[in-house]
Amino acid sequence: MSTVTIEKILKAIDSFSPFCYAYEWDNCGLIIGSRDREVRKIAVSLDLGIKSVEKAVQEGCNCIVTHHPPVFHPIKKIDFSSYTGKLIEKAIQFGINVIAAHTNWDTSPNGGNKFLASQLGLVELEPISLPRPNLPSPSWDGVIGKLKFPVNTEALAEEIKARGSFSWVKYYGDCPNISTVAVCEGAGGDLWQEALKAGASAFVTAELKHHQIQEALDAGLSLIELSHAQMEDLTMQALAEKIKAYVGVDVVLVTGAFKEEKIIYKR
């Protein structure tokens, strides 16, 4: 069996979720480590936190593929008393290489948005694509799909909560007959107009702002709001399975979204 290196992990991720799909502001790829390091076992985590590093070490992993990059902006100094500094120190201390697969995973044609929409019960999936040049195929910045049976806004919120085992859901609007739904994992409120143009009667995302809610409702679009962390956490199993299939080494999940109060209400 050939040696699996960090370089091979990066190439594997790039093959099923190309890094070219990442947004310009993002920081994907190798964050901490060396491309020539041999990989024994891989951990997949929603975030790089102290606990996820400790769990990875306990599992015998020396590579963590995290969704959210631990470093977004250029660093002028590494202060081990700061949170980011502590993460870098701990990763280096235990020989952990860190790779981020963030918006490349979200928006690639077989990535997180498409997987999430399927998990939430949508069929006949099509991309909602923002104008982005030099991509091999249209990006899946959002997804639009059909429900098997039309439902009202409240019933859709309840169904989504149950399908994703979400601890809470908020819904806005009272459309009585929803058959076409758009989805964007994470903070996708800016995409509501594209969802409406694509023909959606309801839009599912996280971290909606007050003006986005008001404008969307005035335009006739119902909204379903979920936990950012829990939405993306739901796709980590799929990411882990794809990595394992492409590289052949053991992959474990060390992720877990924040526990939040179990509520459902209308605003």
Predicted confidence (pLDDT) at residue 138 exceeds the cutoff of 50: yes
Asked whether residue 265 carries a pLDDT value surpassing 70, the answer given is no
pTM of the shown model: 0.94
CA gap 218, 210 in Å, rounded:
12
Q: What is the reported pLDDT for 263?
A: 46
Say yes or no to pLDDT of 266 above 60: no
Q: What is the mean pLDDT of residues 210-217?
A: 98
Q: Residue 256: its pLDDT value, please?
A: 57
Question: What's the pLDDT score for residue 34?
Answer: 98
Residue 1 confidence (pLDDT): 57
Return all residues near 151 (Cβ < 8 A) that are at least 6 apart. 159, 178
Of 55, 58, 16, 10, residue with least CA distance to 36? 10
CA 161 from centre of chain: 17
Q: Mean pLDDT throughout 120-137?
A: 97
> Per-residue pLDDT averaged across 213-238, rounded?
96
Residue 165 pLDDT exceeds 70: yes
Give the Cα separation of 77 and 81 in Å (integer).
11
Q: What burial letters (b/e) apply to 42-66, b meaning 16+ CB within 10 Å?
A: bbbbbbbbeebbebbbeeebbbbbb
C-alpha dist (Å) from residue 203 to 19, 30, 79, 184: 26, 33, 42, 8
Q: What is the mean pLDDT of residues 20-49?
A: 97
CA dist 152 and 37 (Å) reads: 53
Specify the domain boundaries for CATH 3.40.1390.30 within the chain: 6-104+235-252, 112-228
Strand 251-253's sheet: what is its strand order? Answer: 29-32, 97-100, 63-66, 42-45, 251-253
Name the band, by pLDDT with cuts 50, 70 and 90, for residue 73. confident
Which of the four pLDDT bands, split at 50, 70 and 90, describes residue 2? confident
Mean of all residue pLDDT scores within the chain: 94
Domain 6-104+235-252, architecture per CATH: 3-Layer(aba) Sandwich (3.40)
What does the pLDDT read at residue 260? 54
CATH 3.30.379.10 applies to domain 112-228: no
